[in-house]
């Protein structure tokens, strides 16, 4: 695997197992809209931008702001943090990349406050990730390249973009990275995308090989 100067990571489903947290958040927020969330809905919600799923379900645009306020309230709750776990390959991979003097950042459609709370839970709040771009820093979600471009701006990155990668667990992550001009790496833990035309890894450990 090529070594990069700057590694940008997705958060949900990449560094941390947030599916139980997502189930809690979407269930509570959609219940407030009068919609009962099925288990089968959740993964779909995590794979598409929130505005798209909201529109697809036919909810009124004038209530979207209130819905997002509910999403952020539940995401930033202690219950959401408690339901979030770390993948077995995350900690050691991040430590090794930092020891190689690479810079690391997180680019997510999640809320940066929640990300920091989760990092604190796992004693990763310091000296791991220099910058965190969340949905407040870059409101237009992936596959728009804006969140990744915002991260490059926050890093004041002046180097060659070929030395920057973005590691994420969805095709939208890869599309955003490609549009931003950096290298997309698809983390396909469950072999969902065997035919994807991107660099594909099954574990974060492969970034070190």
Rounded CA-CA distance 66/74 in Å is 12
Sign of torsion over alpha carbons 120, 126, 129, 135: positive
Examine the domain organization and report whether 169 and 152 are in the same domain.
yes
Structure tokens of 87? 């993948």
Structure tokens of 51? 């505005």
199 pLDDT higher than 80? yes
Examine the domain organization and report whether 109 and 194 are in the same domain.
yes
pLDDT computed for residue 127 by the predictor: 84
Which residue in this structure is represented by tokens 């070594």? 3
Backbone φ and ψ of 38, nearest 5°: -90, 155
Asked if residue 147 is part of any domain, the answer here is yes
Examine the domain organization and report whether 118 and 51 are in the same domain.
no
Range of the domain at 179: 6-17+85-208
Asked if residue 119 is part of any domain, the answer here is yes
Examine the domain organization and report whether 146 and 200 are in the same domain.
yes
Examine the domain organization and report whether 122 and 167 are in the same domain.
yes
Examine the domain organization and report whether 71 and 123 are in the same domain.
no
Asked if residue 202 is part of any domain, the answer here is yes
Examine the domain organization and report whether 151 and 192 are in the same domain.
yes
Based on its alpha-carbon atoms, the radius of gyration of the chain, rounded to whole angstroms, reads: 17
Residues 6+ apart with CB under 8 A from 173: 10, 14, 142, 143, 166, 167, 184, 186
Residue 95 is part of a domain; what is its CATH number? 3.40.50.1000
Average per-residue pLDDT for the chain: 94
Of the residues 82, 109, 128, the one at which a domain ends: 82
Asked if residue 154 is part of any domain, the answer here is yes
Examine the domain organization and report whether 110 and 190 are in the same domain.
yes
Q: How confident is the model at residue 41 (pLDDT cuts 50, 70, 90)?
A: confident
Examine the domain organization and report whether 59 and 142 are in the same domain.
no
Which of 46-50, 97-101, 116-120, 180-184 shows the lowest per-residue confidence on average (mean pLDDT)? Answer: 46-50
Asked if residue 1 is part of any domain, the answer here is no
Of the residues 82, 102, 125, the one at which a domain ends: 82
Which residue in this structure is represented by tokens 């490609």? 178
Sign of torsion over alpha carbons 62, 68, 71, 73: negative
Question: Which residues sit opposite 164 in a β-bridge?
Answer: 6
169 pLDDT higher than 90? yes
Examine the domain organization and report whether 44 and 107 are in the same domain.
no
Examine the domain organization and report whether 54 and 142 are in the same domain.
no
pTM of the predicted model, to two decimals? 0.90
| DSSP conformational letter for 12 | B
Of the residues 57, 82, 107, the one at which a domain ends: 82
Task: Dump pLDDT digits (tens) for 64-77.
Answer: 999 999 999 999 99
**Cβ pair 103, 130 in contact under 8 A:** yes
Q: How far is CA 30 from the centre of its chain?
A: 21
Rounded CA-CA distance 107/112 in Å is 9
Backbone φ and ψ of 103, nearest 5°: -90, 145
Rounded CA-CA distance 135/81 in Å is 17
Most distant CA pair in the chain, distance: 50
Q: How far is CA 12 from the centre of its chain?
A: 4
pLDDT computed for residue 39 by the predictor: 77
- Domain total for the chain? 2
Rounded CA-CA distance 196/36 in Å is 33
Choice between 6 and 41, residue whose per-residue pLDDT is larger: 6
């Amino acid at each position: 695997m090529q070594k990069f100067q700057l590694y940008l990571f997705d958060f949900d489903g990449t560094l941390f197992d947030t599916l139980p947290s997502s189930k809690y958040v979407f269930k509570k927020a959609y219940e407030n809209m009068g919609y009962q969330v099925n288990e089968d809905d959740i993964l779909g919600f995590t794979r598409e931008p929130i505005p798209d799923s909201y529109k697809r379900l036919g909810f009124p645009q004038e209530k979207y702001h209130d819905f997002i306020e509910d999403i952020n309230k539940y995401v930033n709750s202690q219950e959401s943090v408690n339901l979030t776990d770390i993948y077995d390959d995350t900690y050691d991979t991040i430590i090794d990349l930092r020891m190689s003097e690479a810079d690391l950042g997180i680019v997510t459609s999640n809320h940066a406050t929640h990300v920091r709370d989760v990092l604190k839970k796992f004693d990763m709040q310091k000296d791991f990730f220099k910058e965190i771009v969340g949905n407040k820093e870059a409101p237009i979600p992936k596959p728009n390249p804006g969140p990744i471009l915002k991260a490059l701006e926050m890093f004041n990155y002046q180097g060659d973009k070929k030395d920057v990668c973005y590691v994420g667990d969805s095709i939208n992550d890869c599309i955003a990275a490609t549009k931003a001009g950096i290298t997309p790496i698809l983390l396909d833990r469950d072999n969902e995308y065997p035919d994807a035309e991107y660099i594909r890894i099954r574990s974060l450990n492969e970034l070190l090989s």
